[in-house]
Structure 1
């Protein structure tokens, strides 16, 4: 009888532990930036540029085009208007291990969205940050015990003052991820539409006024290259 009670207690403890793990994992997934963006965008119809209304939070899709000299992605060397990278090293502590972030870098610039010859302007700011974003990982590269860092990866690590080998010459376990918005890539942006007078002419743009997508105190810009986010019917 005593053994049966003990077994039941162990089962209950295990069940509670599993439920807690499931709740934590579900919460992390639900409240992730990616899922927040998908939930917000799924409530918005995709609007044509010509139907944007002033002061309305709207969602549009178009090709990203640079306004000034584009950024260059650190590893792939592709021209872009936005890149986000992360460099991590695997650290071990006894029986457990984890990935420690060594570098987390994000660079973004003002850019156009173009669709059927129409344009809108997007002016993200990093300080203070006025946008929420999620970029699909375009490039992954790693090194490890039996995997030497390539010449290109070695140079990248050197640029960030990171050594690929340890004190005894063994390879460190390092991984790199890179997401970018490439010039000409179709992306989704949501923001509050505002008509703006251009103070200075922009090369390749022949109009004095343009719609700019902005943020507000309550709603940040949303920028993503996630494909196929379901929404209401196209307007």
Structure 2
């Protein structure tokens, strides 16, 4: 009993550390990024020409547009997929937090190409037939002593957001942008389907093309994370 009493003052701090560590681990392990990495690592890496119908597989190659590409709102880069977020810092007494005021995601169908082989990737947002993780590579922010750049201010105005408050002081705002740029190397996983080509593709001489699709049980997976290793290779 005395031994237990000696440790009693340390029990609450130890339990607190264990609980915080568990929360951090669970948040990390079940994050979209880690779930995508775990799923892709279990799938074989294949060449497009060796894909089989109805086979779940992954493929890495360059993203190419099918139609007029999208244009990222801030960087103005041409792309087939972008995700942007505008957040404002809010204070509640001593605590500060970020509130999302704009979250926009736009996609379009695109080709993925490697060594002159093409596959089509068809994306739908309603209902959403894919899960994704894109690396945010454009970030900008403003604050009390940090005026927004003219480009950032123009972006905010396009979303009807004022960069200052009623006192004329800058709001604390931040912007992040993640895209799949034309020609960027990405990884896509999905159900392979071979289909007849309705219109010719420049540089592609075959009459059929592989499409990577979703199913009722399997969404397409899309990421621009580099160097995701596979436990299987064919």
Does residue 86 of structure 2 align to residue 84 of structure 1? no
Which structure 2 residue ranges, 5 or more long, are not aligned? none
Does residue 160 of structure 2 align to residue 165 of structure 1? no
In structure 1, C-alpha distance between the alignment counterparts of 2:78 and 2:134, rounded to whole Å: 15
| Runs of 4+ deviating beyond 6 Å | none
Which structure 1 residue ranges, 5 or more long, are not aligned? none
2:15 aligned partner: 16
Contact 2:42/2:232, CA 8 A, preserved across alignment: no
1:47 aligned partner: 46
Q: Within 5 Å, which residues of 2 pair with 1:188-207? A: 188-198=187-197, 200-201=198-199, 204=202, 207=206
In structure 1, C-alpha distance between the alignment counterparts of 2:71 and 2:103, rounded to whole Å: 16
2:225 aligned partner: 226
TM-score, normalising length from structure 1? 0.93
1:93 aligned partner: 92
Aligned residues: CA RMSD = 1.8
Q: Within 5 Å, which residues of 2 pair with 1:166-181? A: 166-181=165-180
2:142 aligned partner: 143
TM-score, normalising length from structure 2? 0.94
2:57 aligned partner: 58
- Cα deviation digits, residues 97-147 of structure 1 (max 9, x gap): 100001111101000001111100000111100101000111000001110
In structure 1, C-alpha distance between the alignment counterparts of 2:127 and 2:20, rounded to whole Å: 35
Aligned residues: 232
In structure 2, C-alpha distance between the alignment counterparts of 1:128 and 1:202, rounded to whole Å: 29
Contact 1:131/1:223, CA 8 A, preserved across alignment: yes
In structure 1, C-alpha distance between the alignment counterparts of 2:166 and 2:184, rounded to whole Å: 43
1:133 aligned partner: 132
